[in-house]
Structure 1
């Protein structure tokens, strides 16, 4: 299993951060491996909502279906599944001096022959996680999020080392 966790702070208000990250379609803006992400179905974004997420890693395109399985104040949990992997993404929010502290944890279990690629995938996922922090921070601090979800001011980005298990 691959486990990667990043902690960072943004100046966007917790409500804006939660609203933005709750809609997994926004992953297309901050996931460097994403080719396309769109919602399956309609209605409010609540537990049970699904998204189709197409990503490309090492030249291989994979389609995952993500489901929002928990949406609580300060916590979101998404479950992603493809033929080659199962992912659980957990987002927790807390107070920061001038905004919101975000912890994004991804747990990835490779399946079948793809499991043999776990050591190589681990290095790529680490790199993607760092790129994702910068991109999601920029998205949350950007004017589009400001217009859609509330005020944001320049960020004071901090990160913590990733955690992994084998």
Structure 2
């Protein structure tokens, strides 16, 4: 069990670093958005590339930040039900939810997202909009985000089973 706890701690650290880095991307998105708005209002100019980079940054923050959000226990829960459960029952419900719903979804999106990314990367897919950006980096974030989420689910399950075993 010690090795599994060490693995969970490693995953937690990885997702903690990634999650904290997302703060920098939020700042970048804000600055780009503000700069783009100022240029548009003052000079009546705009660029599809600047708009797309805002979308890419938002998508990256959302996708790569999901694992950090899970690590911090900040995902939405149905507290009306969960508050009535014992800690052990909540842990069992969490573990069942991870196994039955989250991990299959993560596996599906990661596998199919890889193909989605790879085809885009092979073709060097570009935005159809004038001045738009290359598309494959945004598609890669889908794969990375769900892979990190899958790792965090594994970490949460290890910690849950460790708590359950320690109380028995």
TM-score by length of 2: 0.28
Of Structure 1 and Structure 2, which has the larger fraction of its residues in strand? 1
Of Structure 1 and Structure 2, which has the larger fraction of its residues in helix? 2
TM-score by length of 1: 0.29
